[in-house]
Amino acid sequence: MSELTRFFEDRQNDVDIFFTHLDSLSIDTNTSNLELHKILKSQCILMLYNVIEGTVNQGIQLIFDKVTNSNVSHDNVSEKIQIIWYKHHEDFNKHVDDSMKMIACFKDKFLSNLVLNLTEFRKVNPSYFGAGTLDSKKIKSILKKKFDIDLLYVENVLESIKNNRNNLAHGEASYLECCHEITFAVLTEWKDKTIDYMQKYINTINDYVDNKKFITNNVTS
C-alpha cells in the first residue's frame, strides 16, 4: 500500500464515521435539533473538501518523493519534471519562460541534487492551492500542465463541494444556511462520488510513480 493510499484511507475513515453518526441521529421537530443537524451537514462539506485538498497535496508529494529517491540524473527525467526542478531556484524564478531553452541556460548551475519539494512548488504555483480552488477540472489541469499526467475522469460534485466550502470559509453563508436545502441523502451521494473520484486520482498517481513515468525513455537507475 502506498503512502498516498494510506493517507486517503485514514481520512476516508474519518468521513465515514462522521456520516454514519449523522445518519444515526434522530431528527424531530425540536428547533434546536433541526438546527444542529443543519450545522453538522455543513461540517460534512468541510470534511469532504479537506479530503480532496489533502489527497491532491499528498499525491504531488508522492511524485516528488519518488523522483527524489530514484537517483536519476537531470537528463533522464521528463521535461515537465525538469521545469519544476529549475523553478524551485530563485534565479530561475526571475524568468517567466518555461521553455527548454531557458532551462539550458541553468543546466550547468543545477546539475546535481535533483530534489523536489512541495513547499517550493506551492510557492511557485500559489493559485493552485489558495482560497479553495480545487475541483476535478482544476485537478485535471494541474496534473496535465505540470506533470503531463492524463486524469481521464471528471466529477461535477467536487465543484459543488468547493463552492459550498468557500461560502462557509469566506463567511458568505452561515453553518445553518449553507446546507439547509441539501438533504443528507444528497450529501451522502456527494461523499460516495468524491471517494470514488479520489480513488481514481490515487490510482493515476500510483501508476505514474510505480512505472516511473517521470523518467525519459523509462531509464532506470
Q: What angle do CA 209, 214, 219 make, to 5 degrees?
A: 105
Assess if residue 114 is contained within a domain: no
Burial class (CB in 10 A: 0-12, 13-18, 19+), 6: exposed
Assess if residue 147 is contained within a domain: no
Assess if residue 64 is contained within a domain: yes
Cβ–Cβ under 8 Å, residues 107 and 91:
no
Assess if residue 169 is contained within a domain: yes
In degrees rounded to 5, what are phi and psi of residue 211? -95, 10
pLDDT at 13: 97
CATH number of the domain where residue 42 is located? 1.20.120
pLDDT at 97: 54
Number of domains in the chain: 1
Structural domain harbouring 28: 3-72+153-212
Q: Residue 133 has which C-alpha cell?
A: 480552488
pLDDT at 127: 63
- Give 99's DSSP letter: S
The tens place of each residue's pLDDT in the chain, 221 residues long, gives 788 999 999 999 999 999 999 988 766 656 678 888 899 999 999 999 999 999 999 999 999 999 888 887 777 889 888 888 777 665 555 555 555 555 566 555 555 556 677 777 777 666 666 668 899 999 999 999 999 999 989 999 999 999 999 999 889 999 999 998 899 999 999 999 999 999 999 999 999 999 999 998 654 44
What whole-number distance in Å separates Cα of residue 70 and Cα of residue 79? 16
pLDDT at 131: 65
Q: Residue 105 has which C-alpha cell?
A: 541556460
